[in-house]
């Protein structure tokens, strides 16, 4: 069988959120709708091709995953979150913290997939200030249609938005300032802005806010316009290359930001003598800095976290954020960002440091073994362990504790791999039937219905699954889920698991299953579906499935 039509490379697709398009019934990972599914003998497979070892049902896998130490911790945490308590989580719809049991009067609307930087700023403030709110998840126009009831309240569809006693307020900065005003220190809430009489504090705040806009402007100039002479263009014209004017201007602005961070006590823009932790200006910066890091590495070969750039203040600030579980809940990975940036800002232009650009982009896209088993302990481009890489409840369940400095860089790699695998398995098993239906859109007859398109090319809420290949895709994904649950300490599935996968997929469905695995893998989004540390295992196990199946015929 020729395999030239098989799409198995992690790559050139313009969206990465797993079910950005499935908002009408919720994320296929997030919704908890799994149930039993028929055995392989009822899938239309002949006895000669049926698996000799029975493939577990989704009900079996869900029960197994819930009974692991990680699953038990996540089930307990999920119950707390449903009460409005527990830890920060990107899919939370109620946050009460320590407030009375009455539902909050404030409702905020934020994007469903975790793409919007302005929604991220708002959610960080809510979590750090512990402001009671109800949360409604609404798709962005780049990946889905907004519900009619939301548009009746917010005709322009802007996100984030806030509803208070029937009044609608938009603009993230206005919302954040109102929440800070309505929840003052006198009522036990952390202040997020300088006190009204603190004129030096307000002067610094205004200065930093202007600098943030300058940083954003330089980023847009560098990323979303072709670089002028001095960069890649000059090299093509026979010149010696070097930095372009836009690169130099951008780096100068980054150094100004770094200088402001090193001028205070502690890692934050305001010193520890002013605020206990991050405040409003830190939130305003961090969501775009997060996107700057990803886009500069991918399109420009510029790793701002590399010590060679000597950005000590910026790195200390980033690491301080990464130690906070509230930030982990909304932190994305570079792959997700380089897929969600073009629909929102426009296409990025290659340039900068070419050799590093190629290496970084390949790693970010999962090429050159970056998404293959066995995975490296850390990621070479985006550090995983400067803070908790998974929810703290998950880490504690497998006996992982932070180092003295709050990092997890000394954790046992086998324990960490186990935690990541089991979290990915719990997520997959919790909604396996819907996930397999979604993945089967990658089959030969999938996604062929006439449908509306969106700015993010893979946002496809009206697509159909390939009904012919879907039962086999479902069975194959159950094998992958079982491998996630049962793999040895080195994180690599056994040959018995590989053979079960081969036996599960007949020749007639091989191409459809391979394409479906690639379709799903390229849509695993961070943080909406999983934190990066666990998401990379799900991606790698789907690639393991591709590697096992592709050479067999």
Which tokens sit at 514? 């391979």
pLDDT tens readout for residues 286-306 = 999 999 999 999 999 999 999
Q: How many residues does the chain have?
A: 553
The C-alpha atoms of residue 108 and residue 54 are separated, in whole angstroms, by: 47
Which tokens sit at 509? 């469905």
Task: Kindly report the backbone phi and psi dihedral angles of residue 234, in degrees, each rounded to the nearest multiple of 5, phi listed first.
Answer: -65, -35
Q: What is the pLDDT of residue 245?
A: 94
Which CATH number is 40-61+413-552 given?
1.10.490
The C-alpha atoms of residue 439 and residue 472 are separated, in whole angstroms, by: 11
Phi/psi region, residue 365 (left: phi>0; alpha: psi -120 to 50; beta: rest), is alpha
Q: What is the pLDDT of residue 551?
A: 72
pLDDT tens readout for residues 148-187 = 999 999 999 999 999 999 999 999 999 999 999 999 999 9
The C-alpha atoms of residue 445 and residue 464 are separated, in whole angstroms, by: 8
User: DSSP string covering 447-466, please?
Assistant: T-S-----SSTT--TT----
Identify any residues that bridge with 161 across adjacent strands, giving them in sequence order.
109, 170
Domain range summary for the chain, segments of one domain joined by +: 40-61+413-552, 92-187, 199-364
The C-alpha atoms of residue 314 and residue 302 are separated, in whole angstroms, by: 15
User: DSSP string covering 478-506, please?
Assistant: HHHHHHHHH--TTS---HHHHHHHHHHS-
> Are the CB atoms for 140 and 111 separated by under 8 Å?
yes
Number of CB atoms found within 10 A of residue 9's CB: 14
What is the DSSP pairing of strand 133-138 with strand 94-95? antiparallel
pLDDT tens readout for residues 104-149 = 999 999 999 999 999 999 999 999 999 999 999 999 999 999 999 9
The C-alpha atoms of residue 351 and residue 348 are separated, in whole angstroms, by: 9
Q: What is the pLDDT of residue 241?
A: 57
Peptide bond into 160 cis (omega under 30): yes
For every residue of 47-101, which 3-state class applies, written as one string?
A: CCCCCCCCCCCHHHHHHHHHHCHHHHHHHHHHHHHHCCCCCCCCCCCEECCCCCC
The C-alpha atoms of residue 138 and residue 452 are separated, in whole angstroms, by: 18
The C-alpha atoms of residue 380 and residue 332 are separated, in whole angstroms, by: 16
* Axis-axis angle for helices 117-129, 172-182 (nearest 10): 10
The C-alpha atoms of residue 111 and residue 122 are separated, in whole angstroms, by: 11
Which positions of the chain have pLDDT values less than 50?
1-28, 30-52, 233-234, 237, 239, 553
Q: Which residue has the tokens 């797993």?
A: 18
Q: What share of the chain is helix, strand, coil (3-state, %, to 5)?
A: 50, 5, 50
Q: What is the pLDDT of residue 456?
A: 86
Q: Give the DSSP letter of residue 159.
A: S
Q: What is the pLDDT of residue 41?
A: 28
User: DSSP string covering 7-43, please?
Assistant: --SS---S---TTTT-TTT--TTTS--------GGGT
Which CATH number is 92-187 given?
3.40.30.10
Q: How far is CA 514 from the centre of its chain?
A: 24
CATH of 199-364, one of 1.20.1050.10, 3.10.20.30, 3.40.50.1380, 3.40.50.10490: 1.20.1050.10
Q: Tally helices (H) and strands (E) across the chain.
A: 20, 5
The C-alpha atoms of residue 421 and residue 550 are separated, in whole angstroms, by: 23
Longest dimension (CA), the chain: 81
């Amino acid at each position: 069988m020729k395999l030239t039509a098989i799409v198995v490379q992690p790559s050139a697709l313009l969206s990465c959120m797993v079910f950005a398009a499935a908002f009408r019934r919720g994320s296929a990972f997030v919704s908890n709708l799994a149930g039993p599914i028929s055995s392989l003998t009822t899938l239309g497979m002949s006895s000669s091709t049926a698996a000799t070892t029975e493939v577990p049902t989704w009900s079996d896998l869900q029960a197994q995953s819930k009974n692991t130490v990680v699953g038990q911790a996540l089930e307990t945490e999920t119950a707390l979150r449903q009460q409005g308590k527990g830890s920060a989580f990107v899919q939370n719809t109620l946050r009460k913290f320590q407030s009375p049991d009455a539902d909050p009067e404030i409702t905020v609307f934020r994007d469903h997939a975790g793409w919007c930087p302005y929604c991220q700023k708002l959610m960080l403030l809510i979590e750090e200030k512990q402001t009671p709110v109800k949360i409604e998840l609404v798709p962005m126009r780049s990946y889905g249609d907004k519900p009619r009831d939301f548009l009746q309240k917010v005709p322009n569809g802007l996100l984030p938005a806030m509803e208070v006693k029937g009044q609608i307020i938009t603009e993230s900065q206005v919302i954040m300032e109102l929440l800070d005003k309505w929840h003052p220190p006198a009522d036990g809430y952390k202040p997020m802005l300088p006190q009204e009489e603190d004129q030096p504090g307000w002067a610094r705040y205004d200065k930093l806010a202007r600098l943030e806009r300058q940083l954003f402007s330089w980023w847009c100039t560098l990323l979303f316009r072709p670089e002028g002479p001095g960069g890649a263009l000059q090299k093509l014209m026979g010149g010696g290359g070097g930095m372009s004017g836009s690169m130099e201007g951008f780096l100068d602005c980054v150094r100004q930001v770094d200088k402001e961070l090193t001028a205070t006590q502690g890692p934050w823009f305001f010193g520890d003598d002013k605020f206990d932790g991050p405040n409003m200006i830190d939130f305003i910066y961090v969501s775009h800095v997060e996107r700057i890091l990803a886009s500069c590495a991918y399109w420009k070969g510029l790793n701002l976290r590399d010590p060679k750039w000597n950005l000590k203040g910026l790195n200390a600030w980033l690491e301080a954020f990464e130690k906070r579980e509230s930030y982990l809940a909304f932190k994305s990975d570079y792959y997700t960002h380089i897929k969600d940036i073009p629909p929102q800002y426009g296409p990025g232009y290659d340039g900068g440091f070419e050799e590093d650009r190629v290496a970084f982009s390949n790693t970010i896209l999962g090429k050159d073994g970056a998404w293959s088993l066995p995975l490296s302990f850390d990621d070479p481009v985006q550090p995983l362990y400067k803070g908790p890489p998974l929810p703290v409840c998950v880490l504690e369940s497998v006996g992982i504790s932070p180092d003295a400095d709050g990092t997890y860089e000394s954790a046992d790699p086998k324990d960490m791999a186990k935690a990541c695998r089991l979290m990915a398995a719990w997520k997959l098993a919790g909604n396996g039937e819907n996930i397999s239906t979604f993945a089967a859109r990658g089959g030969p007859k999938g996604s062929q219905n006439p449908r509306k398109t969106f700015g993010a090319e893979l946002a496809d809420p009206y697509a159909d699954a390939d009904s012919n290949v879907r039962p086999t895709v479902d069975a194959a994904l159950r094998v992958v889920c079982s491998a996630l649950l049962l793999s040895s300490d080195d994180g690599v599935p056994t040959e018995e698991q590989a053979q079960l996968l081969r036996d599960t997929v007949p020749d007639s469905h091989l191409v459809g299953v391979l394409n479906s695995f690639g379709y799903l893998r390229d849509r695993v989004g961070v943080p909406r579906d999983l934190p990066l540390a666990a998401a990379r295992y799900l991606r790698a196990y789907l690639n393991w499935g591709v590697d096992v199946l592709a050479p067999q015929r």
